[in-house]
Amino acid sequence: MKPLAERIRPRKIDEYIGQTHLVGEGAILRQMIDSGKVSSFILWGPPGVGKTTLAQIISEKLDRPFYTLSAVTSGVKDVREVIEKAKKTHFFNDKIPILFIDEIHRFSKSQQDSLLGAIEKGIFILIGATTENPSFEIITPLLSRCQVFVLKSLEKDNLRQLLNRALTYDSELKNRKITIKEENALFRYSGGDARKLLNIIEIVVNSIPNGDIEITDKIIEAKLQQNFSDYDKNGELHYDIISAFIKSIRGSDPDAAIYWLARMIAGGEDPKFIARRLIISAAEDIGLANPNALLLANSCFDALQKIGWPEGRIILAETTIYLAASQKSNSAYLAIDKALEFVNKTGNIPVPLSLRNAPTYLMKELGYGEDYKYSHDYKNHFTKQDFLPKEIKDARFWEIQGSPQEKKMGEWINFLWEDRYKQ
């Protein structure tokens, strides 16, 4: 039997729930659909808000051939095959086909490049779906050929409407007497995600094969603890696992870090999300103890964009192990937070005249830049001068920690400043 979410998937625009800013009467996307003149666009929004459903409704409404690809499992070869099919379809049909690509942000640059020519020549209309900001994840040439429509998480009223639709119209559920006594836990766990809401209902109904069903917060919580343990990219487990991953790196346990990485990969986590967290960890937890960690983490993110999946898992694994095995320092993290707290307390203290830029004659007359000493003119490219306002000239923010790399930095800076940074 098909899942509940598939059984009650809307087939017409009037059955579609939510996103009234796009598909309500007079809204921009609704106007495009009603006019029959649809150009390539990207749907950007969280999971379970109707991106795939909307693409299918548009295809059926316009009576166009509909092709679909998942960026998780498709490569350049798959894209080229679809382009060839679309060419043949277009040859026999004057209606341009629609190509729907789910999770298009997972396509590498080369995969996205392969779409450009077909869009330009009108071989198909592209509808892409993404949970990530297209400005960061979609190449500029592709983005310039597509409009971007932003979808929102479903509100409680939308979820309630969807729930009523499921209980009323689904062939299985309408034969059961199901009473919603409490809905707080139901809506809290679904988190604005229609698919998740319907999955929860299905879990509860399947766990009670006979008799009437009365849904309460207590029942929802109990059933989900027993059955809802799969990795959820937007739920509590998502945050628990990334927390365990980062803490394992911080705690210098490569085995644990690789285990949590494997849990995320197996659960379908976005590789770029993992790579971004590795960059943060490299700066926050390894820091000045091994500055190369940040370079490697940043290279990891770049390499993922070039290589794609599944080989990208190896790049993530290499970076994870390197960061976990590196010596640790959070001195930069502590220094910036200490400085920010200091700034919040002291306000906008004027920049000393000697440090100000003097691009005009008037500014020079006013003393801007006067008495500044150009460090490269002196031995060791250094000479003592005040770089902080005189009111706070003795303020200290960076505290040198104990790794060999950072100690070496500390020895040099103390040599220059004659133990100003000595602990």
- Topology at the third CATH level for domain 19-150: Rossmann fold (3.40.50)
Q: Which two tokens stand for residue 25?
A: 């009467």
What digits encode the pLDDT tens for the residues 129-171? 998 888 878 888 999 899 999 998 888 899 999 999 988 888 8
Q: Which two tokens stand for residue 312?
A: 């990208």
Q: Which two tokens stand for residue 101?
A: 């690509």
What digits encode the pLDDT tens for the residues 410-420? 888 888 888 67
In the block, which residue shows the tokens 């937007």? 234
Query: How much of the chain, in percent, has pLDDT values that exceed 90?
Result: 19
What digits encode the pLDDT tens for the residues 158-168? 999 999 998 88
Please report the pLDDT score of residue 127 as a whole number: 94
pTM value is 0.55
Q: Which residues of 136-154 are buried (b: 16+ CB within 10 A; e: fewer)?
A: ebbbeebbebbeebebebb
Above 60 in pLDDT, residue 235?
no
- Quick check: 355 and 410 in contact, CB under 8 A? no
Please report the pLDDT score of residue 91 as a whole number: 60
Q: How far apart are CA 333 and CA 289, in angstroms?
A: 12
- Quick check: 223 and 239 in contact, CB under 8 A? no
Please report the pLDDT score of residue 161 as a whole number: 92
Please report the pLDDT score of residue 230 as a whole number: 47
Please report the pLDDT score of residue 183 as a whole number: 85
Please report the pLDDT score of residue 228 as a whole number: 45
Q: Which two tokens stand for residue 162?
A: 């969807």
- Report helix, strand or coil for 66: strand
* Range from 111-125, 209-223, 279-293 carrying the lowest mean pLDDT: 209-223
Please report the pLDDT score of residue 229 as a whole number: 44
| Average pLDDT of the residues in 81-86 | 84
Please report the pLDDT score of residue 225 as a whole number: 64
With bands split at pLDDT 50, 70 and 90, how would you rate the model's confidence at 422?
Answer: low
Other CB atoms within 10 Å distance of the CB of residue 369: 15
* Range from 200-204, 282-286, 296-300 carrying the lowest mean pLDDT: 200-204
Please list the residues that pair with 274 across neighbouring strands. Answer: none
**Three-class DSSP labels, 300-340:** HHHHHHHHCCCCHHHHHHHHHHHHHHCCCCCHHHHHHHHHH
Q: What is the mean pLDDT of the chain?
A: 84
Domain 236-325, CATH class in plain words:
mainly alpha
Above 90 in pLDDT, residue 242?
no
What digits encode the pLDDT tens for the residues 320-351? 999 999 989 988 888 888 888 888 888 888 88
- Quick check: 267 and 231 in contact, CB under 8 A? yes
Domain 156-227, CATH class in plain words:
mainly alpha
With bands split at pLDDT 50, 70 and 90, how would you rate the model's confidence at 315?
Answer: very high
